[in-house]
Structure 1
Amino acid sequence: MVTGANKGIGLALVEGLAARMGPEDLVLLTGRDAGRVRDAAALVEKATGTRSLVEGRVLDVADAGAVAAMATELGERHGGVDIVVSNASALLTPDRPQAEQADEFIAVANGATHSILRSFGPVLRPGGRLIVVASTLGTLGHLDPWLQPLFDGASLDEVEKTVESWRAAVNAGTAQEQGWPHWLNVPSKVAQVAAVRAVAAQRRARDLPEGTLIAAVCPGLVDTPLSRPWFDDFSRALTPAQAARAVLDLVLSERADPKFYGELVRFGRVLPWHDGTPPRHQERMLIS
């Protein structure tokens, strides 16, 4: 199952999974707009020649109840899932105040990450893959030092509580006074990786012997409508299909490398959790 899969890297991931898996496999392409989901599934079917069965499903990842219901359904219908890629993201633009965009952006990026980890972790089959698409901004060092303890070693409940506190501060106009970066994408990505690390810490002893992988991935700078508002130079950007390849290599690897477990991975390399430079008062940060 791939979320946020009706365009961009999510669609490329579904295309790659459908092309590289067998006719007995089912790939779920999910999104919240029924028309776009239907059109995307038809596009994948045409591109891959239905090597694998691709099924479009409407799923609003900001709705924790809907996420839980789908996880329960798939557990009962198929006995579990082998691959889950949490990829959904909301559009964030520099031409509107960050506070106006905070609720939807955080609900999709972070609320969905929490829901996917909570609901799909229990139905992930032994040897499965649960992957959260994040970015290089997800390392702890991108936050000022006094904020870092809020995420370092935190449980998923604690991460969720901190995210809600940050969101409330953004809406109240006090976030920068508290040291939070102006650009929402920075704390959001750190929180995504912290959530992955929290769940991985609880499951590590059971997952590693079974070959199960839970990790966050950075696909690099990808030329999509989500990144276009923030960058001027796309000369070195990847297409969604190019970015999906490294993620698919990780997801479909025959043996999960234990060094990737619970970490943020970029092109086959672990990005150390404590790396990064605080953005201070920059208006924007580039991701790569």
Structure 2
Amino acid sequence: MTGANQGIGRAVVEGLADRLGPDDVIFLTGRHAERVAAATEEIGRKQVVGRVLDVTDAGAVAALADELKAEYGGVDLVVSNAVGPLVPERTQAEQVDEFLAVANGGTSAVLRSFGPVLRPGGRLIVVASSLGTLDHVAPAVRDRFDGTTLEQIEAAVEEYRSAVHAGTAAEQGWPDWINFPSKVAQVAAVRAVAAERRTADLADGTLIASVCPGLVDTRASRPWFDDFSQARTPVQAAEPMLDFVLQPTDPTTYGELVRDGKVLPWKPTERNDAH
């Protein structure tokens, strides 16, 4: 579990510790050693092992995947949840590099390194958002994310990042808020990897998908929303996610963005058809 020392990530780790067996090993990872150590100690479960991991370092992600493959023969569940800071009082250009490096670079690194070590029947889940559907980016840039490869999506993220710094993002059709192209790219990355693996994965019950936890009252969301009356706590958000990843694979959810067990349509036309 990446990004697991607080918020949703920590709640998922605690939920897994409750639901899995005493011999299962759950890795709680984050990039700050003190926070990882504190969270692991506070959870206080022998199954939970804290590890420092900076998902912006693709080499470190690959090394951990190789280590777990060598020690355990593979992994059964991977949850990519790491996200960088994003606050209203700083400009998009001041924040875009770190935010994309964590959210999108981290997602790509986890997909690329942990996909090959996922055991049959395993799960690889990326925590994303309902903002990650194609209707949250303008038609002018949608083709960067639809039906493309992981490498093409990474190139699109870099194109967006460069446009923000050049001050040309708006005229090129990119959204004003970093979260929109970032979340769309996360979901697109999952779809790209899933498209390549779909036949083999469905044959052995393996699941690759992205999930939307809904509005959750966390440190990251607090600066952006005024009304949290309908928001979930991290524990409340984790419950349906855990239900989803621990149940048998539903082929209709494979490669899709899922919220509370239901698929969120990827394209605006699919959204209209669903209604």
TM-score norm. by structure 2 comes to 0.97
Deviation at 1:91, TM superposition (A): 1.2
AA aligned to 2:2 is T
**Superimposed CA distance per residue, residues 173-199 of structure 1 (whole angstroms, 9 cap, x where no aligned partner):** 111111100100000000000000000
Work out whether 1:223 is the aligned partner of 2:222: no
Distance in 2, Cα, partners of 1:169 & 1:194: 20
1:152 aligned residue: 146
AA aligned to 1:188 is S
Distance in 2, Cα, partners of 1:44 & 1:258: 34
**Superimposed CA distance per residue, residues 116-143 of structure 1 (whole angstroms, 9 cap, x where no aligned partner):** 0000000000000000000000001111
Question: Where do 5+ consecutive residues of structure 1 fail to align?
Answer: 277-288
Distance in 2, Cα, partners of 1:244 & 1:173: 38
**Superimposed CA distance per residue, residues 20-64 of structure 1 (whole angstroms, 9 cap, x where no aligned partner):** 10011000000001110000001111xxxx3x5110000000111
1:127 aligned residue: 121
2:183 aligned residue: 189
**Superimposed CA distance per residue, residues 64-88 of structure 1 (whole angstroms, 9 cap, x where no aligned partner):** 1100110011111110000000000
Percent identical pairs in the alignment equals 66
Distance in 1, Cα, partners of 2:219 & 2:135: 27
Work out whether 1:71 is the aligned partner of 2:70: no
AA aligned to 2:82 is A
Distance in 1, Cα, partners of 2:112 & 2:25: 22
Deviation at 1:89, TM superposition (A): 0.3
Deviation at 1:275, TM superposition (A): 3.1
AA aligned to 2:6 is K
Contact 1:142–1:275 (Cα < 8 Å) also in 2:
no
After superposition, residues 135-146 of structure 1 pair within 5 angstroms as: 135-146=129-140
Distance in 2, Cα, partners of 1:236 & 1:243: 12
1:26 aligned residue: 25
2:252 aligned residue: 259
Deviation at 1:171, TM superposition (A): 1.3
1:172 to 150, 166, 181: 166
Work out whether 1:162 is the aligned partner of 2:156: yes
Distance in 1, Cα, partners of 2:117 & 2:166: 38
SS in 2 for 1:73: helix
AA aligned to 2:257 is L
**Number of residue-to-residue matches in the alignment:** 269
Distance in 2, Cα, partners of 1:43 & 1:260: 34
Contact 1:29–1:54 (Cα < 8 Å) also in 2:
yes
Deviating above 4 A after TM superposition, structure 1's stretches of 4 or more consecutive aligned residues are none
Distance in 2, Cα, partners of 1:139 & 1:117: 19
Question: Where do 5+ consecutive residues of structure 2 fail to align?
Answer: 270-275
When the two chains are superposed, the root-mean-square deviation of aligned CA atoms in Å is 0.9
2:205 aligned residue: 211
Distance in 2, Cα, partners of 1:275 & 1:130: 26
1:283 aligned residue: none
Work out whether 1:81 is the aligned partner of 2:67: no
Contact 2:140–2:172 (Cα < 8 Å) also in 1:
no
Work out whether 1:99 is the aligned partner of 2:98: no
